[in-house]
Amino acid sequence: MHRPTFDLADIVREHRHAVEQVQPLSAVQAHALSAITLCRTAALGGHQDVCTACGLEVGLSYNSCRNRHCPKCQALAQEHWIQARAAALLPVPHFHGVFTLPEDLRPLARAHPCEIYEALFRCARTTLLAMGRSRLGVRLGLTMVLHTWTRELAFHPHVHVLVTGGGLRLDGRAFKHARRDYLLPVKALARLFQGKVMAALRRLKAEGVFRLSDGAFGSLMATLARQRWVVYLKRTFHRPEDTLAYLGRYTHRVGISNSRLLAVNDHEIRFRTKDGRTLGLPPITFLRRFIQHILPDGFKKIRHAGLYASPKALTQAKAMLPPTADPPRKPTWQEALHILTGRDPRQCTACGGEIRMESIPALKAGPPRIRHPRPRSPD
């Protein structure tokens, strides 16, 4: 597997201090950047591969940070996620949907990410499940993934949704298949989604979450009401395993991967965007764009709903579909690495002997733990 020429970790090491001079980092942002800089370095320890037959030291590998925002830690995590979800996926065609927040809501999402992202998830989920019940008379299965970026690293919160092409009838007696090329009307989905998001915003305002004045909030709501909200919904693949691999590319994607970095120097970070285009940004601007996509601590970016959130209903639905072969055994990390790179870490490259791993202790503690302020006790 080709190793990228440039590494986000090097950019963070060189320019993090400059970013902190113009923008204070939250505890979660600081933790993520520290993890990225320490990832696969001696600071986190690792292991030395030694052949038990010839004694050859095959390779030295340092441990990964396992931070979900690190571009070097997602390939194996994605492979494991796909294997784990294979047993739950229904053997039916699926549709790929995208629910996006309008541009006018992005400042509010920056100020209150947890509340707005939760509302985005909830409204996308309830919109699809409600339309599935009213239009198809079924309970759909949903897998949802939050993304907050564009290919230019701009702030653009949206949820990708994998939707079953049909679902369990409401009386629970049969599984109803949808048309292969059509699931639900997107214009009706968009209108319902718009109404649900605006209702959620009114509730959050009534609860005192937003600091907007009544006038500013009323102006925002009027603007949102006039806009045409867009929902995307398209069939993906017929085979479940192809659909799952397709979604896997979304579940563990970070703001930018190392493979997209084209040029790195003290004046510009140039990277690929889409359709063959590139974009160059000053290093500080680049990092400031990157850190705005670091999610709040503990926030779940992958969620399931409908059939995929109910083991009982999922089992019931599977019983009504043609039987499928048992999902393959979940591979070990060595097997997964062999699949990804073509190199078997269990076998000596010189004599074919068995490889033994010898641990190397970390040089220092890992990234600093996130410290949250303790609530004050009442006087």
CA distances from 181 to 1, 159, 267 (A): 36, 22, 48
**Lookup: tokens for 165:** 């092409």
CA distance 312 to 314: 5
Among 131, 117, 119, CA closest to 163:
131
3-31 tens-digit pLDDT: 788 999 999 999 999 999 999 999 999 99
Q: Distance (Å, rounded) from C-alpha 100 to C-alpha 168?
A: 27
Higher pLDDT, 341 or 190: 190
The structure tokens 């996308």 sit at 124
**What digits encode the pLDDT tens for the residues 188-242?**
999 999 999 999 999 999 999 998 999 999 999 999 999 999 899 998 877 767 7
pLDDT tens per residue across span 87-96: 788 989 999 9
Higher pLDDT residue, 107 or 368?
Answer: 107
Higher pLDDT, 211 or 332: 211
Residue 369 reports pLDDT greater than 60: no
Q: Check: CB of residue 132 under 8 Å from CB of residue 185.
A: no
In the chain, % of residues over pLDDT 90: 65
Asked if the model's pLDDT at residue 328 lies above 60, the reply is: no
Alpha-carbon Rg for the chain, nearest whole angstrom, is 24
Residue 113: what pLDDT? 96
For the segment 134-175, what is each residue's pLDDT rounded down to a tens digit?
A: 999 999 999 999 999 999 999 999 999 999 999 999 999 999
Task: Supply φ then ψ for residue 19, to 5 degrees.
Answer: -65, -40
Of the candidates 61, 155, 70, which has an alpha carbon nearest to the alpha carbon of residue 106?
155
pLDDT at 367 over 80: no
Mean predicted confidence (pLDDT) in 297-318: 95
Look-up of token digits 């707005």: 116
- Residue 34: Cβ within 10 Å count: 19
Is the four-CA dihedral 180, 141, 116, 260 of positive or negative sign? negative
Contacts of 317 (CB under 8 A, 6+ apart): 90, 141, 167, 168, 175, 307
Return the beta strands (E) in 125-260 as ranges: 138-139, 141-149, 155-164, 166-169, 175-177, 231-235
